[in-house]
Amino acid sequence: MFIIIGIMLTGMLVGYLLRSKRLTWIHKIITFLIWLLLFLLGIDVGGNEAIMKGLHTLGLEALIITLAAVIGSTLLAWGLWYLLYIRNRDKEEKA
């Protein structure tokens, strides 16, 4: 755990020190590394028999959680939009 936190803090320090440099190429490296991590995760999941046997159950749970998150985010975003824009617009029109 301390190693992970140390690596993250080191990255933050390096990023802080290099903040004035133009590092446009870094996004391509980050994207490639994310793809590599996803590929390696897929290999690990595919090699785990317990996960593969319970994939239909895990998939259903993941679908339900995803739908709940999307619906909840949409409703809360709509509510915030209403509070910030619609209600204030109505107040301005009355004034």
Q: What is the pLDDT of residues 6-32, one digit of tens each?
A: 999 999 999 899 888 888 888 999 999
Residue 11 lies in a domain: no
pLDDT of residue 25: 87
Residue 84 has pLDDT above 90, yes or no: no
- Please provide the DSSP assignment of the chain as one string: -HHHHHHHHHHHHHHHHTTTS--TTHHHHHHHHHHHHHHHHHHHHHH-HHHHHTHHHHHHHHHHHHHHHHHHHHHHHHHHHIIIIIHHHHHHHH-
Residue with tokens 């590929």: 39
87 vs 40, residue with greater confidence: 40
- Which structural domain, as residue segments, surrounds residue 85? 49-94
Whether residue 26 contacts residue 20, with contact meaning beta carbons closer than 8 Å, is answered with: no
Count of domains forming the chain: 1
Residue 73 lies in a domain: yes
Model pTM score: 0.51
Q: How much is the average pLDDT of 70-89? A: 89
Residue 34 lies in a domain: no
Residue 23 lies in a domain: no
pLDDT digits (tens, 9 = 90+) for 27-64: 999 999 999 999 999 999 889 988 888 878 878 888 99
Residue 35 lies in a domain: no
Residue 14 lies in a domain: no
Residue 70 lies in a domain: yes
Residue 28 lies in a domain: no
Radius of gyration of the chain (CA): 22
